Structure 1
């Protein structure tokens, strides 16, 4: 019962039978808080309300009578554990200090312990009520006279006994006139006589308790005597049995001596046999080869561990006919081959595959005994899967390489380490008009009457294998017998070794037509370059003529505004002419050195306005390696022309000194930033770049749009125009 021994009583120790004790049960309540509101319960009509009230009234009256007149007490079990309290027991029982306990003797007050224990012991023994009177109990610093009565009872006839312990206060009992006179005399006794009386009572109770213990001890001794007599009789029976066993032991020893002699002989033979078996087993296990031994009747005799998987065997298959086994190797006529080996004493060997496609070399040999007699066959399997796959892969590689060589449209030649032709593809024979008999096994320098015997080519080919070099883009121009003059491009490299053989693959490409086309293209480009140079020169001259005409016209115009307009047009034409001048002097007509172009353009503008603005200087911060095409250069030149001209005309007043600066930077691979500014007068705030009336600024906006760029204006003490555009668009 473990930790629940207080809930069960032992009924039969031998068979471990227990019965449930009547014990107080602690009520457990699980109070669960719920979130949903409680529903109101509609009470129905009360049934038999009057009868229920009569029963409750009767129970309440009985309870009052019992509490007033019945003695207080407690119900305890056989272990003196209190199961139930009846009435107010605090004058007689009190919880003991320390661990909580319901043991009646631990809770008894001073003066009750000895008599209470004696009374309960007598009640257990006699199974009858026992009463003790005149006990002095200390309660609330005073002694009270108490009577106790222990009444045994059993709720069930077969159950354990329980005891009802009742306490009576002697001072509350009804007295006769004789009792009152006795009490008056008792009161007159001295305090010493009271203590003597109390000690006598305790001594009498102790004597009774000791007498009961002595009686129990005598009963126990009597039981022990009976048990001792039974043990003695059992010992006599065991002694007789021992004598019989001694006789049988002597007979067995004689038999064992005979068997020992026989066992020694068998042991020596078994050792020899085990040694031979161990040697054979270790030998077979150390050989990493699947081996199967068959008897003359084709029954399985022995096999190695590796043979289990290939022949689909288990250890219990030893002794089974081999015909009942379905091996995992694909040999349809295996049994006839084994019988042929046994009959003819020949050795059979063939290549086989298992069900997974693994290759093995199957060898069947005759099994010979020590007397040189044939008594079966030995089957072994050698793993040749890697060798087989290597051979297949090598053959496939050869076929694959040969197919590639034959498919390639360029002439290919395979040479050995002596530079002799091993083979060539179809394109080689067709291109040079030779046959395989004329080429194969010949030195490459002797083929076609020594037309390949070129000193530099010989030197390069002879150095390839010793120095592990390559022949790349070696050009040969030669007159061949069958095809005439041809320009050939040769490339050669080593082929991975096949065994000890080293080979060279020589590829020949006919580039005669390519060289002719390249020569034609070069001549055509030279002619176009001369033509473009002449076109740029003529365009520049024509623009210079137009600029000169405008200059002559401006000298004859009296109106200053008209003269200024002509000069602006002249500067624009000069900006475009300057592009063509730089282009026809350049080696590349599609790209323009932008830094050189801007420097020349600004220098020209300052030279044309030097008389009017002598105190204005220029500052150029241009990245030198910027190159753009001519179309964008013309647009940028016109923008710089307009902005510099505008700065010279309107940025400085009353012969004011200052600076005009131009900054050109490359922000990224294709992104350029062009800044044109001055430190003169601020740009008028009323001018809106989105709504311009000036022709020059309108032209600038249109040019920026053609560049697919952006224009920004800064007015912080300086007037700066920033143009950003992409050169790749």
Structure 2
């Protein structure tokens, strides 16, 4: 009943655990998800500061910091950003929850979106009359410049459609006519679904226009695949926007269509080549690895240090090449949707300990310190989860050559396992952080100093995603990075104990 009551509230409600490092969020209600645009799995385990993104220099943050430090309550108005980057003002009421001895255990935050009120206040502080007059003149000028706007539309190298509220085609640009091999006469003034004898009666398109767009404006990169009778199969990315101005153009719908059929085919050929090349390389490399092991045994008693050193280096580089090919094969399986998860219950803490021990025994000079524990048996693919942990630890060591320590912290936040790996290395610029989990992406400032192909973090992200988890990074150039991931304990053995 309590959870139902909290979810029924129109205010966003969160609870953070003051007993854990970095005061992570352990509960959020439905309104908090609606206000921020993030899902619960993307929220749990984060510190509240992730909502401020780059906008960190706010006096309200200092007030919050002091209240948390002193175990007190406070009320602040703070700028936050939704998942899509939209700014919103948040009125936050924060209070501590203490035990019978007055020790702070949790903090509860109740927040309301007061963006409209703040915008109104800011407008009143400016020269409202003068500004409104200028905006009106500018808007009127744009409305009267249909011919000018139409000329711009015609030069855009994407197919564009303008629809009325009842989905009749008001206009299309030349690129649409050329791409879909139609005439303007048989297109404009017709219902979109009736074009080409029903060719555009596409289920995905109807879903976009009738269900998604009315509740979520605009729509970006909505993928639609359709086999047109005359031009063949097309793979399209649709961007749709419903105009919400008053007047002549009210509720008109703009659709931009990017034909990505050829681009996707090229990507598929690249993936096919990657898969074939990786498989073809694996067989001879396995043979080479076997021969190197034989040579190593045969030269074990030979008193030739130079020869032994050459064999050891060859073994190291063959192993490095073997790992690289294994990663390429993982990428190929992920791209083709053939990644296989063999889920069985396993001791999560023991898996982390084994991964740490294996890296320490590999001769790394860094000391890896594990703090905290989950005490959970997780139902998942142990080898893949271990691969994620090993990859993140290896990166932490690799990118912190001037520091000798790496930290691992394990915890349970709400009904999620959380693993955070901390280094004191080179760090990652904030503008590049959203891209580091993309396939083949490498941070520009580290490409020359540190070799790699940019696929390790992509594989980690896909493995965590396939386990219904979330992975993210917090970093600052020159001050190191914290890579964290959470895995859901729902329906897992040990989840009840974790709560």
| Greater relative contact order, per chain length (Cα 8 Å cut-off, separation 6+) | 2
TM-score, with length taken from structure 2: 0.39
Larger radius of gyration: 1
